[in-house]
Chains A and B, each alone.
Chain A
């Protein structure tokens, strides 16, 4: 079953517009692999950030490691800046249980002590299991637990959301 969802690029523009007024030259944008990095790359461009983009792979911080093991393709995290006392905007594609965001925050703190972290997500699909809510959201769209919203990237770089 495929229901129609808004265009991902429209949602990214909406996110950028919401984030723009809060931005300072010191704000760091950090995307969570893999979908969060795609969104973060777009935001980074739209918001004309001067500082480099950060990327997190939270595989080493997942809370289900002892049950399911290591993700077969762990990518290195890349935070090419000092986090100490910075304002961070953490970006993910879909917010579901909140466990990924928790793991990402744990990892960020192992790099330093940021002044603040705010969360930007393309879609908040509900089903939260932790007290984690987005500060910036492209679309709030509750989805039953047996369904999934996924962001995919085509060869030409175009991003699309699908519900299945």
Chain B
């Protein structure tokens, strides 16, 4: 049984994009499109979620994701409570559910969950009462569905369609929940060619089974791409001896104007943030005309509004 859908096929929780039907992804993107203009009005709010309480449960630090969820909830007129729960040795399953039960007793309607352990949001979703929805805001290496959705929204805004695109995801796919969500969404939405580019040590074994083409050098991988998605190289990976040095990484896999010229002339460059300038991306690219990195952030608000509105409606 799919935990994310109601028996009649509507969105119940948003935990992963893996297995979500194309119709649901498209519905979220279309709804987000309608929310885009709300951000440009004099009153940047709609009354949809008036009286609902949304808890941002962040067991792992985040600025951008937490803030955009908060803004999205506020633009829907929900009441938002932010809880930054330090990841300490206390973070065991039992303690999480105690936290959740206490917040549910305060009449929570929705939990937005970020956790360093894969599966944390699923764990909470299985536990909560039927009227409570759970949104995964990133769990371990597993999934970051709203980031994947906002990336699809960005691609659709700039490229219009999915069926004629070549999309490359570059960098540390192995540790990236964002890359997993992107790959699921891109293949579900019908992108004919999804590529991953990175050193062998940073690509998961068997990644081809997700329906992607694997490249180990930028020259071949970027040729003819419409969309180039750069992933953040987490500094702690360097210590794990997976990479010789940041400079070495930049030389081979950092996106410079020179390397970007291998993609199509109208290719867009995306990055989920926060960027390591001079490691995975050169500032000239990040701030250049092909970069859509800041629009991604703006679109993230509309996409998260759409997810929350679809989850909260029809539950009374």
Contact = CB atoms under 8 A, between A and B. Distances in A.
A66 interface: yes
A112 to B, nearest CB: 6
Given A66-B316, A69-B310, A110 B45 contact: yes
Nearest to A68: B314
13 contacts: A65-B48, A66-B314, A66-B315, A67-B316, A68-B314, A69-B315, A70-B48, A70-B310, A70-B314, A74-B30, A110-B41, A110-B43, A110-B46
B102 interface: no
A90 B41 CA distance: 19
Contacts of B315: 66, 69
Given A61-B46, A110-B41, A111-B43, A68 B34 contact: no
B11 to A, nearest CB: 10
A61 to B, nearest CB: 6
Contacts of B47: 60-61, 106
Contact of A66 (B43, B46, B313): B313
Contacts of B94: none
B31 A76 contact: no
Given A59-B34, A74-B30, A76-B34, A69 B41 contact: no
Contacts of A111: 41-43
A57 B48 contact: no
Interface string A69-85: 11011111110000000
B314 A112 contact: no
Contacts of B33: 76
Contacts of A60: 34-35, 38, 46-48, 309
Contact of B34 (A67, A75, A107, A110): A75
Nearest to B312: A66
A109 B46 CA distance: 11
B29 to A, nearest CB: 12
Interface in A97-123: 106-107, 109-112
B236 interface: no
Contacts of B314: 65-70
A70 B27 CA distance: 11
